[in-house]
Structure 1
Amino acid sequence: MPSIDVVLDLSVEACLAHYEGRVGQVMAYSLDGRRVMFPAEALRRVVARDGVHGTFRLFFTPEGRFQSIAPLQRDV
């Protein structure tokens, strides 16, 4: 399963915009510089009280569709 590692640093306000559906996609940059877009609903799995901060691995199907997100490390 293809994967890409990204660093996310989203405030509570930014996460709320995604959660409320005002923003449908998240745009981030991978650790190797590629631009990556994935569904905002994925943030629901990793959001904390202070937003989303840290390094995450995004998993995609062989066809390139987002499948899941997993935290690798949380920035403190």
Structure 2
Amino acid sequence: MPSVDITLDLSLDQCRSYYAGAVESIQTYTLDGRRVRFPARALHRLVSHDGVHGRFRLYFDGGGRFTAIVPL
């Protein structure tokens, strides 16, 4: 299963936009500089009292579809 590593630094207010459905996907860059997009709903279980911060590994299936996000 292909994977990439990213860093996220999202405030609680930014995360609220994702919860409200105002934003459907997150676009960011991998640690090696590639642009990647994944569903905003994937952040729901990662949001803490101050947002989402840290490094994460995104997993994709053979067709390039997002399957999981895991904190590193």
TM-score by length of 1: 0.92
What is the deviation of 1:54? 0.2
Unaligned runs of 5+ in 2: none
For 1:5, what is the secondary structure of its paired residue? strand
Q: State the alpha-carbon separation in 2 of the partners of residues 52 and 6 from structure 1.
A: 12
Q: State the alpha-carbon separation in 2 of the partners of residues 13 and 46 from structure 1.
A: 14
For 1:9, what is the secondary structure of its paired residue? strand
Q: State the alpha-carbon separation in 2 of the partners of residues 47 and 35 from structure 1.
A: 22
Which residues of 2 match residues 1-76 of structure 1 at below 5 A?
1-72=1-72
Unaligned runs of 5+ in 1: none
1:54 is aligned with what amino acid? Answer: G
Identity, in percent, stands at: 57
TM-score by length of 2: 0.97
Q: State the alpha-carbon separation in 2 of the partners of residues 61 and 12 from structure 1.
A: 29
RMSD: 0.5
2:21 is aligned with what amino acid? Answer: G
Runs (4+) of structure 1 exceeding 2 A deviation are none
Q: State the alpha-carbon separation in 2 of the partners of residues 13 and 45 from structure 1.
A: 16
